[in-house]
Amino acid sequence: MAKFLIKNGDEVVSNISGFKGIVTSSSCHLNGCNRYWVSPTIDKDGKLPEGYWFDENELMVIKKAKVKPVAYVEPGGFQSSIK
């Protein structure tokens, strides 16, 4: 099991590109590389730029838990159906 050094909801910046945003997803690859999807904030024109995947060692945490992740809920309940 992977140990993630950065948590979903942390605000981060890339130490290579300067890209800044909130971690909204994390992924552990077969080779042990932890990667994070970083979603940026809305730009000055009111548009939401696309996010990107970054390697763990490329990111620096600016603010821990800037956004509190929703608690995990076990799958279940009513199943949806397409008609």
Question: What was the pLDDT predicted at 1?
Answer: 58
Q: Side chain identity at 72, as an amino acid letter?
A: Y
The conformation of residue 57, written as its DSSP 8-state character, comes to G
Q: Give pTM, 2 decimals.
A: 0.75
pLDDT tens for each residue of 67-82 = 887 766 666 655 555 5
> What's the chain's average pLDDT?
85
Could you tell me the residue ranges of all domains in the chain?
11-63
Question: What was the pLDDT predicted at 75?
Answer: 62
* Rounded (10°) CA dihedral 44, 45, 47, 50: -60
Length, in residues, of the chain? 83
